[in-house]
Structures are given as structure tokens and as C-alpha cells.
């Protein structure tokens, strides 16, 4: 038994045979992510009986599974181009709206005019031995740890630069104190007090005393200059110490295996992530432009949102590595959208992205870097998908920079409704 909307699509008879005779639980989605075919066993696995199964036809992929098709389908397409079936684990929504974990085998089917994605569904394995999906997840976990180590290495590098700057400021302070006129001032004060009983005669007639007023004037100028130098150096040290505190705090947040979903101040998280890469950016002459139209709040896991922006800022900085330009910039724009959503734009004028790579940017394992591992943007897309948001990238090509657009659902305190 099967249901389908496959008229005129590929080999209709072949699809009908698959749905009718296969021992597997099959679903078929078109290139737009719409369900166009399903067999009854797949429908029953999702909790639909014969009275309600027709609801699945025409349903969109993201209504049935907790995955973003713009991220997931390119992975299937890439696997199909390499002549193998993609295996993965996916969270599905059953008839009652509850979630369930499934294993899926995903196959690309296409001809000159059409593209379809065939899904074979199965309950998650319970065997004691590891499944291929579990092995893949373990590999991804190791890759995620490597990504975290890379962020930590970047943090250590930036901390080294900051401590070096603090050391230079300390040397300047030491030299200023060493060359201070204070010992000479104390000597002059002793002469002044020794001749206090005849001070008028001393400063007008005594050869040594006649120079005392001019000395006090000149030493005052020296001390004023020294004070300004020390205030400037101390302010610089204070700023660098503030950077260090923020960077360490951000790294601690990033390193936490936090799973709690809560209200988050989006602007503050963006700034915390920026703080880690800021010293390197400033050292390279990269200008930072921020335009936050308001303070916005989202609902999510703090470490995951941090992870997204840490990746974007690191990529933006690396996109301008070796670029000989004086106008390098990273622009960050946060503004509200309709339907209680928030948009964040992170744009740079770095090396840009070739058109051939645009569709693969969020694919697991894809990278344009010589020593990259293709996990950063993939995991960022997965995190945005879990938050109920989205991420996309645009670029006019090589040498023309790139712009990442993120959309978050805004946090709404339901306790204030109706007030």
C-alpha cells in the first residue's frame, strides 16, 4: 500500500514499485523539501494510521524532522555525486507532536529535469555494538574537540600578544620612574628648608638660590609630562587586563558542555565572541564597525550561540590574512525583523567565496582552507537549526568579501502577555 504525488516525475513505475514492494520504510521528498511519496510502514513508524496518513503528503521536511533541509539536503546531494548512500541519525516528530530518534539512509534520485531525495527510515539501533551512525557521531565529536582546541590555541596566541603589550607598558613605566625628577625635587626642597629663615635673600642673592624658582617651574613641567605618560600606560594596561578577563570568561563559557536552554542577551554574546578575536584583528589593522539597533534576547544554549559567532569572527579574520589592504573591516549589524525574529549580519571584505563553493559552505567536511577540517560552519548551521533559526552566506566572488546572515527567533516572556 502506498500514497504518492509522483505523476510525471522521473520513472513513475519505478517509484511505485519501490513504495509497494520494498521491505524498508520509505519517504520521498522533492528538491523543495515537500513530501511527494510515502509507504504505509513509514507512516505507521511516525504514528500515523490509515485515517491520517494523507496528512504526510505535501508536508514540508522541516515539519516532520528537526533538520534544516538547506543544510541536510546538500549533504545527501554530495553523497549522491560520490555514488554512496548517506547514513545519519535524525529526530522526527510523530503524529502527536512528540519527538523520536530514527536512523535514516538517504539516496539522491535524479534525471535531467527532476531531483528527489529517498529516505529509508528505521528506529534507532539498540544493539550493544556501535552502529555506523554512532561511529560517525564519535568522529564528529572528536572533530568538535579539535575545533575547540583550535579556538583555545587562538585564545592563547591572543593572550600572548596582550601580555607582551602589558610587559612593554611595564617597561615604559619603569623607565619613566627611573628618569623621574623627584630625587632632584627632594634635594631642592632640602635646600629650600635649610634656607627658609632667609629665603628672600637666598633666592635673590645666593648663586645657588637664584636658580631655585626656575628649577621648580621646570621640574613641574617634567612631573606633569611623566604623570601623563604613566596615566596613559596604566590606562592601556587596565584595558588589556579587561580584555584578558573577558577572553578567559568567554573561553570558559565556550568550553562548558552546557545543555540548559535559557534567555540569552544576543548583543552581549556577540561582543563576548568578538572579544577573543579582537586583539588579533586590531593588530592586523582590521576595523570593527558595530550597529546594534537595540538589546535583543533569544532563547537557546549559551555555549552553542557563542560557538556560532566564534566561528564567524575567526573566519572573517582568516579571510583577511595576508591581504595587503588598509581598509580591512568586519561589520556587525543587529536589527529586528517581522514575526518576532532578529537578524545578525557579519560582513567582511576579505578573500570572498568562489561561486562553486557557495552551496557546500555548510556541508560537513567541506573547507576552502589548506588546513581546515570542514566542521566550523557545518556545526554552526546545525546549532542554528536547533535554535529554530537559520544561517546563510552570500559573496560576489573571490576578492569581494563575504556576508553571513543569521536569523534568530526572539525571546518573548509569556508572563507579560495580555498586560
pLDDT of residue 161: 67
pLDDT of residue 3: 47
- CA proximity to 273, closest of 290, 294, 259, 293: 290
What gap in Å lies between CA 247 and CA 244, rounded to an integer?
Answer: 5
pLDDT more than 90, % of the chain = 17
In the CATH scheme, what is the code of domain 2-124?
3.30.450.20
pLDDT of residue 7: 45
Span of 153-157, 194-198, 200-204 with lowest mean pLDDT: 153-157
The whole-chain average pLDDT of the chain stands at: 79
What gap in Å lies between CA 75 and CA 69, rounded to an integer?
Answer: 10
In the CATH scheme, what is the code of domain 260-416?
3.30.565.10
pLDDT of residue 364: 67
165: confidence class by pLDDT, cuts 50, 70, 90: confident
Question: In the chain, what are the domain boundaries?
Answer: 2-124, 137-250, 260-416
What gap in Å lies between CA 130 and CA 139, rounded to an integer?
Answer: 12
Which of the pair, 276 or 329, is modelled with greater confidence?
329
Write out pLDDT tens, residues 212-231: 888 888 888 888 888 888 88
What gap in Å lies between CA 241 and CA 339, rounded to an integer?
Answer: 41
203: confidence class by pLDDT, cuts 50, 70, 90: confident
Rounded to an integer, the average pLDDT of 106-126 is 83
Write out pLDDT tens, residues 345-387: 999 998 888 888 887 888 766 666 655 555 678 878 888 887 8
CB distance 86 to 133 below 8 Å: no
Judge whether residue 2 has pLDDT over 50.
no
Rounded to an integer, the average pLDDT of 181-200 is 86
Amino acid at each position: 500500500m502506498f500514497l504518492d504525488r509522483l505523476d510525471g516525475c522521473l520513472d513513475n513505475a519505478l517509484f511505485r514499485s519501490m513504495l509497494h514492494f520494498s521491505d524498508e520504510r520509505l519517504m520521498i521528498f522533492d528538491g523543495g523539501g515537500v513530501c511527494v511519496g510515502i509507504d504505509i510502514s513509514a507512516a505507521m513508524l511516525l504514528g500515523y494510521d490509515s485515517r491520517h496518513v494523507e496528512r504526510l503528503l505535501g508536508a514540508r521536511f522541516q515539519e516532520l524532522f528537526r533538520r534544516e533541509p538547506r543544510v541536510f539536503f546538500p549533504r545527501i546531494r554530495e553523497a549522491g555525486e560520490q555514488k554512496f548512500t548517506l547514513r545519519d541519525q535524525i529526530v522526527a516528530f510523530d503524529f502527536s507532536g512528540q519527538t523520536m530518534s530514527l536512523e535514516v539512509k538517504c539516496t539522491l534520485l535524479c534525471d535531467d529535469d527532476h531531483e528527489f531525495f529517498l529516505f529509508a527510515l528505521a528506529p534507532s539501533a539498540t544493539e550493544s555494538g556501535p552502529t555506523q551512525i554512532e561511529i560517525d557521531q564519535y568522529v564528529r565529536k572528536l572533530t568538535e574537540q579539535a575545533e575547540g582546541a583550535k579556538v583555545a590555541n587562538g585564545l592563547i596566541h591572543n593572550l600572548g600578544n596582550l601580555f607582551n603589550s602589558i610587559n612593554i607598558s611595564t617597561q615604559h613605566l619603569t623607565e619613566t620612574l627611573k628618569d623621574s625628577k623627584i630625587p632632584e625635587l627632594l634635594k631642592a626642597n632640602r635646600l629650600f628648608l635649610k634656607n627658609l629663615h632667609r629665603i628672600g635673600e637666598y633666592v635673590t642673592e645666593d648663586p645657588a638660590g637664584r636658580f631655585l624658582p626656575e628649577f621648580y617651574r621646570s621640574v613641574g613641567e617634567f612631573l606633569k609630562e611623566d604623570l601623563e605618560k604613566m596615566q596613559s600606560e596604566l590606562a592601556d594596561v587596565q584595558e588589556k587586563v579587561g580584555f584578558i578577563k573577558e577572553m578567559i570568561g568567554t573561553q570558559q563559557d565556550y568550553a562548558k558542555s552546557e545543555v540548559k536552554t535559557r534567555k540569552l542577551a544576543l548583543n552581549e554574546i556577540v561582543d563576548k565572541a568578538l572579544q577573543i578575536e579582537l586583539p588579533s584583528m586590531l593588530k592586523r589593522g582590521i576595523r570593527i564597525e558595530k550597529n546594534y539597533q537595540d538589546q535583543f534576547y533569544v532563547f537557546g544554549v549559551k555555549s552553542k550561540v557563542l560557538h556560532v559567532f566564534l566561528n564567524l569572527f575567526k573566519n572573517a579574520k582568516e579571510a583577511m590574512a595576508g591581504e595587503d589592504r588598509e581598509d580591512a573591516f568586519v561589520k556587525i549589524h543587529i536589527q529586528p525583523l517581522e514575526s518576532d525574529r532578529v537578524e545578525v549580519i557579519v560582513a567582511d571584505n576579505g578573500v570572498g567565496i568562489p561561486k562553486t563553493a557557495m552551496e557546500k559552505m555548510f556541508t560537513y567536511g567541506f573547507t576552502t582552507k589548506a588546513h581546515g577540517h570542514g566542521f566550523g560552519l557545518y556545526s554552526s548551521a546545525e546549532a542554528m537549526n536547533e535554535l529554530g533559526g537559520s544561517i546563510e552566506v552570500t559573496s560576489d566572488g573571490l576578492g569581494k568579501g563575504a556576508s553571513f546572515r543569521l536569523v534568530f527567533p526572539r525571546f518573548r516572556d509569556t508572563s507579560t502577555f495580555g498586560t
